[in-house]
């Protein structure tokens, strides 16, 4: 007994179309309200290609459907043998060639728009680390570690991207581009965020055990607010450095710890089971100061047993911090969370630099 599957075909097609169309109808689109000029171009390119491929999709399935129906098997009927058809072959060569050209022209001009930087108002360096992002503002000397990237809205920003260890990828879907950060290599992109707001992203290159923690947040602020935020942040980081310079091993240790270390070792110093060793009650923060200082200055990797558990990760070096900053962090670690290793001085750190 034949199955009347073709009765279900219209219902099945309608369901598939509805499932495909629903997100668009609900306004779920990255391109509905583009955040940057590039995102607008990428969005219209995407829509053009979607339209062309959609028409091809419907056309091919319509012809296929007609063929299946009209030329289905009938008892006692032999099909006619056909050897080539010049007209049909010319059509299916020329039409795709024209379509490819129609897609190539706007695709190329979008690529060019990404490559041709407009006059730049501000430059930011993006540095990927296992497993956090660092942003440097060369013009002001400001540096953000494991914090949202702040940008002025409606300004042309140049991003210079690289990595301190392995390949990461800086990806914010709203900006419609995705760039690898590669050790020893520099990538560039420009960005003009039209609307103030917060844009979320994520490292898009599997970069090790804590890859999933490399989230990205970009906060685009009205330009006047950005300027005052930058001045205030610079002033407060200068006072912090000053306080450490005058009182070695003193103030700012907690803040510096939270900025530089807490993303891995956690704000309470508890570490992350199996990946990051704890600092509270651990051997090194309660042992000789030199070993602790070397660990922070030069980083460490390879098997390490802490409180009876084996770790085998990579602790990044922190040579970029000043002697006073490192002394402040280490003193904070050695006197918090039940530790009694005792404070260290900036001089102790200076003596171990380069060794």
Taken as a whole, the chain contains a residue count of: 355
- Count Cα atoms within 13 angstroms, Cβ side, for 171: 13
Residue 79 tokens read as 């099909």
For ligand HEC, the closer CB: 2 or 303: 303
Q: Which of ligand HEC, Cu ion, none has residue 320 at its interface (CB below 5 to 8 Å by kind)?
A: none
For ligand HEC, the closer CB: 252 or 277: 277
Considering only CA atoms, which of 351, 299, 323, 318 is closest in space to residue 331? 323
Q: Which single residue is written with the structure tokens 């339209």?
A: 51
Q: Which single residue is written with the structure tokens 């530790």?
A: 339
Q: How far is the CB of 257 from Cu ion (least distance, A)?
A: 22
Q: Which single residue is written with the structure tokens 């099909």?
A: 79
Q: Which of 129, 143, 168, 265 binds Cu ion (CB under 5 A)?
A: 168
Q: How far is the CB of 189 from Cu ion (least distance, A)?
A: 17
Q: Which of ligand HEC, Cu ion, none has residue 316 at its interface (CB below 5 to 8 Å by kind)?
A: ligand HEC
Q: Does 214 bind Cu ion (CB under 5 A)?
A: yes
Residues that bind ligand HEC (CB under 6 A): 130-131, 260-261, 263-265, 276-279, 282, 284-285, 292, 295-296, 300-302, 304, 306, 311-316, 318, 329, 333
Distance between start and end Cα atoms, the chain: 85
Determine the distance from the C-alpha atom of residue 284 to the mean position of all C-alpha atoms in its chain, rounded to a whole number: 33
Positions in 184-213 near Cu ion (CB under 5 A): 203, 207
Considering only CA atoms, which of 44, 195, 187, 43 is closest in space to residue 117? 187
For Cu ion, the closer CB: 214 or 349: 214
Considering only CA atoms, which of 160, 151, 332 is closest in space to residue 248? 332
Q: Which of Cu ion, ligand HEC, none has residue 168 at its interface (CB below 5 to 8 Å by kind)?
A: Cu ion
For Cu ion, the closer CB: 157 or 214: 214
Q: Which of ligand HEC, Cu ion, none has residue 207 at its interface (CB below 5 to 8 Å by kind)?
A: Cu ion
Q: Which of ligand HEC, Cu ion, none has residue 297 at its interface (CB below 5 to 8 Å by kind)?
A: none
Residue 304, classed as helix, strand or coil, is strand
Q: Does 334 bind Cu ion (CB under 5 A)?
A: no
146 contact partners, CB below 8 Å, separation of at least 6:
132, 133, 134, 259, 260, 262, 263
Q: Catalog residues that contact Cu ion under the rule CB under 5 A.
A: 168, 203, 207, 214
């Amino acid at each position: 007994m034949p199955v009347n599957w073709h009765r279900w075909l219209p219902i099945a097609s309608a369901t598939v179309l509805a499932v495909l169309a629903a997100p668009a109808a609900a306004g779920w689109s990255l391109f509905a309200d583009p955040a940057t000029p590039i995102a607008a171009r990428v969005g219209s390119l995407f829509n053009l290609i979607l339209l062309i491929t959609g028409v091809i999709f419907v056309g091919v399935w319509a012809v296929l459907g007609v063929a299946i129906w009209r030329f289905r098997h009938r008892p006692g009927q032999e099909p006619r043998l056909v050897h080539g058809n010049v007209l049909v072959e010319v059509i299916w060569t020329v039409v795709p060639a024209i379509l490819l050209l129609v897609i190539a022209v706007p695709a190329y001009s979008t690529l060019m728009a990404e490559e041709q930087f407009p006059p730049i108002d501000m430059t930011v360096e993006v540095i990927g680390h296992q497993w956090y992002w660092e942003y440097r503002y060369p013009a002001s000397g400001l540096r953000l570690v494991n914090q949202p990237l702040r940008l002025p809205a409606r300004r042309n920003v140049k991003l210079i991207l690289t990595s301190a260890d392995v390949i990461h990828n800086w990806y914010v879907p709203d900006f419609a581009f995705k760039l690898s950060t590669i050790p020893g290599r520099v990538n560039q992109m420009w960005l003009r965020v039209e609307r103030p707001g917060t844009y979320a992203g994520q490292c898009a290159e599997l970069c090790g055990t804590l890859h999933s923690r490399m989230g990205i947040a970009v906060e685009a602020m009205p330009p006047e607010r950005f300027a005052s935020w930058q001045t205030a942040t610079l002033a407060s980081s200068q006072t912090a450095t000053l306080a450490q310079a005058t009182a070695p091993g003193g103030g700012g240790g907690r803040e510096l710890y939270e900025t530089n270390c807490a993303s891995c070792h956690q704000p309470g110093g508890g570490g992350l089971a199996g990946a990051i060793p704890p600092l509270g009650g651990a051997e090194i923060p309660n042992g000789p100061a030199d070993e602790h200082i070397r660990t922070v200055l030069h980083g460490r990797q390879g098997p390490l047993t802490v409180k009876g558990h084996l770790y085998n990760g990579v602790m990044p070096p922190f040579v970029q911090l000043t002697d006073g900053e490192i002394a402040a962090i280490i003193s904070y670690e050695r006197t918090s969370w039940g530790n009694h290793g005792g404070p260290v001085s900036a001089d102790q750190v200076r003596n171990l630099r380069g060794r």
